[in-house]
């Protein structure tokens, strides 16, 4: 009987529930965290807004460049139109006022598709106060500001400017009184003794005709004069019985390569003409 009780007591001591209290009292390690949903949410709440702000900022700067290009294009077109209006005298008093120029610029901005979304004050907020077109040149200086969609390093606005410069269409005056005639371009023939104002002069561009030698005595030039034998090619053997004449000349030639009808034209400065005299045809016609 005593043996069975002692056996039962040993069996009770060997049960695991009798050792739970001892294990809990002797274990000193920190238990692992099983629930991680809270830490992921905290990271997402910090990272996602930062990424959104970064991409919005990048897209904003690309948009700024696009708007700047459109404003520059509108400024260039406005300056060119103003150059024509001011020079042609088309309501010149009107275009001397900056309000009229601002209205012209506004129309060009709308054609270029400039958006009011990021511009402070819209298109009307673009200032042209420093522009000047009182002299020969037209200088349009535009100043404007961009509104940042988010605060970027403490900045809420960005300043920018565009400049368009062009010259008025005033042209130039070419008169005999103010022109320097000592360095003009003139045309000469290698065998000629005159210089010509144009390479289209009839002394340089000859109309050569081939005719029978027997009929030359009955032909006349444009001035009604008779044709005489050329002293340069008179000794050439004329086996074909043909000669060459021009409408403006007074000689008939046996050789087509004769210096009297062949023109090797050069373009030189008037100061290089030497002792040559002005052509009686092209200079007389121009005057």
Per-residue pLDDT tens digits for 80-134: 888 888 776 667 777 788 888 888 888 888 887 777 777 888 888 899 888 888 8
Map the chain to HEC letters. Answer: CHHHHHHHHHHHHCCHHHHHHHHHHHCCCCCCCCCCHHHHHHHHHHHHHHHHHHHHHHHHHHHHHHHHHHHHHHHHHHHHHHHHHHHHCCCHHHHCCHHHHHHHHHHHHHHCCCCCCCECCHHHHCECCCCECCCCEEEEEEEEEEEEEEEECCEEEEEEEEEEEEECCCCCCCCCCCCCHHHCEEEEECCCCEEECCCCCCCCCCCEEEEEHHHHHHCCCCCCCCCEECCCCCCCCCCCCEEEEECCCCEEECCCCCCCCCCCEEEEEHHHCCCCEECCCHHHHHC
Tokens of residue 251, six digits: 């000689």
Q: What was the pLDDT predicted at 31?
A: 56
Tell me the CA end-to-end span of the chain in Å, nearest whole number. Answer: 159
200 in Cβ contact with 263 (< 8 Å): no
Q: What was the pLDDT predicted at 1?
A: 47
Alpha helices (H) in 168-223, listed in sequence order: none
118 in Cβ contact with 91 (< 8 Å): no
Q: What was the pLDDT predicted at 189?
A: 85
Which helix (H) or strand (E) element contains residue 47? Answer: helix 37-88
282 in Cβ contact with 186 (< 8 Å): no
Per-residue pLDDT tens digits for 171-184: 655 554 455 555 68
Distances, alpha carbon 75 to alpha carbons 14, 131, 156, 270, in Å:
97, 11, 26, 45
Residue spans of the chain under pLDDT 50: 1, 20, 23-25, 176-177, 286-287
């Amino acid at each position: 009987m005593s043996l069975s009780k002692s056996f039962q007591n040993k069996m009770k001591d060997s049960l695991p529930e009798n050792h739970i209290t001892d294990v809990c009292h002797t274990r000193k390690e920190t238990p692992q965290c099983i629930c991680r949903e809270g830490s992921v949410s905290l990271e997402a709440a910090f990272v996602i807004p930062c990424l959104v702000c970064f991409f919005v900022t990048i897209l904003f700067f690309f948009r700024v460049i696009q708007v700047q290009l459109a404003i520059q294009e509108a400024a260039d077109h406005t300056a060119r139109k103003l150059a024509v209006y001011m020079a042609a005298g088309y309501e010149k008093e009107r275009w001397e006022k900056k309000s009229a120029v601002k209205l012209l610029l506004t129309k060009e901005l709308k054609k270029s598709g400039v958006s009011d979304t990021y511009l402070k004050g819209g298109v009307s907020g673009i200032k042209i106060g420093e522009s000047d077109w009182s002299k020969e040149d037209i200088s349009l200086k535009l100043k404007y500001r961009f509104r940042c969609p988010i605060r970027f390093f403490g900045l809420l606005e960005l300043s920018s400017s565009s400049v368009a410069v062009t010259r008025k269409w005033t042209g130039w005056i070419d008169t005999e009184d103010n022109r320097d005639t000592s360095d003009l371009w003139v045309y000469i023939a290698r065998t000629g003794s005159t210089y010509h104002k144009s390479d289209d002069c009839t002394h340089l561009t000859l109309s050569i005709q081939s005719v029978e030698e027997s009929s030359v005595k009955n032909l006349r030039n444009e001035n009604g004069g008779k044709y005489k034998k050329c002293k340069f090619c008179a000794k050439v053997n004329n086996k074909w019985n043909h000669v060459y004449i021009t409408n403006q000349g007074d000689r008939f030639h046996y050789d087509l390569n004769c210096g009297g009808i062949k023109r090797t034209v050069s373009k030189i400065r008037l100061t290089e003409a030497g002792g040559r005299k002005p052509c009686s045809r092209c200079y007389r016609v121009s005057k």
